């Protein structure tokens, strides 16, 4: 028989907490499934809509930056150069804005059910994964079109996508905690994060930044991941040791966010 003692200051044991999150993993999965179905049931094109969206965005970028402004991408065909940036940034920014309002949107569930609240945020992480996969498939098609070698390096790409998701979660944790504390402040932070689009090498290569400022560029985890992805899959794109910097920053945010959230977990119901 399970015995439990509830006191005002129950410290959650980290291992127990992780086990709980794992036990409720199907909750996150099912919630995400519902949201995805809702998203696609609203437009009649279904999954085709996402494909069209990626293709249109890519074409516009290509026309403006690739052809008109003639951004130098080390001789890499511009669509091949720009696509990872586009899909990674879109995943990041959509997910972040979704996560930030999750706790407020789910007030009903939170005040009536017991489950690790972090699973709600985890479910939001999955909602934009279909677009990520579609983008990646288009990328593979582009690789074939431009007759690039598809080697085992593509696995390296998958690892980077996994890192992207995990780091997005870390940043999302922080923003959702800020929104919980003050809803308006959360919206301001979201706006600032969206603005970071211009500081991220999505439509330009990171190499155009002067060397002395590069450290600031790669403090941005998303910038590091995009550049890392490009240099891993396309051999002529330059590699930089500083890519690891953003990933370290992202990991630190994830860990600190996780422990902060764990500390807040029991108070969330009362803070809504």
Partner 1 sequence: MKENAIVISNLSKKYYIIESEKQEKRNKINVFNKSSREFYALSNINLEIKRGELITIIGSNGSGKSTLLKLISEITPPSKGTIEVNGTIASILEIGIGFQPDLSGLENIYLSGYMYGLRKSEITKNIDSIIELFGFSNFINTPVKYYSSGMYMRLAFSIIIHIKADIYLFDEILSVGDASFQSIAINKIKKLNSSGATICLISHTPNLIAEISDKMLLLNKSEQILFSKSSLAIEKYHNLLFNSNPENKNDKLTLNSQELNSIKNLLETSEEFQFNIEEIKIYNKNATQNNIYTDFEIIIECTLSYVSNLPLQLGLLIKDQNQIIITSCDTELKPSKFYSKTNVIYTIPPFSLNPTLYIFDYLILRNSEVAVIYPLANPLTISSKIKSKTLGPANLNISSEIQNK
Given a contact cutoff of 8 angstroms between Cβ atoms, the answer to whether 222 and 207 are in contact is: no
| Minimum CB–partner distance for residue 26 and partner 1 (Å) | 5
What is the distance between the alpha carbons of residues 221 and 254, in angstroms, rounded to a whole number? 11
Given a contact cutoff of 8 angstroms between Cβ atoms, the answer to whether 119 and 28 are in contact is: yes
| Minimum CB–partner distance for residue 16 and partner 1 (Å) | 13
Given a contact cutoff of 8 angstroms between Cβ atoms, the answer to whether 32 and 123 are in contact is: yes
Q: What tokens does 237 get? A: 């794109």
Nearer to partner 1, 108 or 147 (CB): 108
What is the distance between the alpha carbons of residues 193 and 195, in angstroms, rounded to a whole number? 5
Nearer to partner 1, 146 or 181 (CB): 181
| Minimum CB–partner distance for residue 28 and partner 1 (Å) | 9
Nearer to partner 1, 120 or 164 (CB): 120
Which of 95, 122, 105, 92 lies closest to 26, judged by CA? 122
Nearer to partner 1, 8 or 75 (CB): 8
Nearer to partner 1, 22 or 146 (CB): 22
| Minimum CB–partner distance for residue 263 and partner 1 (Å) | 12
| Minimum CB–partner distance for residue 98 and partner 1 (Å) | 15
Which residues of the shown chain bind partner 1 in the complex (CB under 8 A)?
A: 1-10, 23-24, 26-27, 30-31, 33-35, 37-38, 41, 108-115, 181-182, 266-267, 269-271
Given a contact cutoff of 8 angstroms between Cβ atoms, the answer to whether 221 and 246 are in contact is: yes
| Minimum CB–partner distance for residue 262 and partner 1 (Å) | 14
Nearer to partner 1, 37 or 239 (CB): 37
Given a contact cutoff of 8 angstroms between Cβ atoms, the answer to whether 232 and 111 are in contact is: no
What is the distance between the alpha carbons of residues 80 and 66, in angstroms, rounded to a whole number? 11
Q: What tokens does 173 get? A: 């944790």
């Amino acid at each position: 028989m399970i015995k439990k003692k509830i006191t005002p200051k129950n410290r959650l044991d980290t291992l127990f907490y992780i086990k709980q999150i794992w036990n409720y993993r199907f909750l996150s999965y099912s919630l995400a499934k519902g949201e995805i179905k809702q998203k696609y049931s609203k437009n009649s094109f279904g999954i085709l809509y996402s494909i069209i969206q990626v293709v249109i965005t890519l074409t516009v970028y290509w026309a403006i930056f690739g052809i008109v402004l003639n951004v130098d991408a080390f001789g890499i065909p511009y669509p091949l150069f720009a696509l990872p940036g586009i899909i990674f940034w879109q995943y990041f920014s959509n997910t972040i804005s979704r996560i930030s309002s999750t706790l407020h949107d789910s007030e009903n569930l939170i005040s009536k059910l017991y489950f690790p609240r972090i699973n709600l945020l985890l479910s939001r992480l999955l909602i934009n994964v279909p677009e990520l996969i579609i983008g990646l498939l288009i990328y593979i098609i582009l690789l074939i079109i431009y007759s690039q070698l598809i080697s085992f390096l593509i696995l390296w790409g998958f690892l980077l996508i996994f890192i992207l998701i995990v780091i997005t979660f870390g940043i999302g944790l922080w923003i959702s905690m800020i929104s919980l504390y003050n809803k308006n402040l959360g919206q301001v932070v979201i706006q600032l994060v969206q603005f970071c689009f211009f500081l991220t090498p999505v439509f330009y290569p990171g190499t155009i930044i002067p060397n002395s400022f590069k450290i600031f560029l790669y403090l941005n985890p998303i910038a590091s991941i995009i550049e890392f992805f490009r240099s891993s899959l396309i051999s002529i794109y330059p590699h930089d040791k500083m890519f690891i910097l953003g990933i370290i920053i992202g990991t630190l945010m994830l860990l600190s966010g996780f422990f902060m959230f764990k500390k807040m977990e029991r108070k969330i119901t009362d803070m809504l």
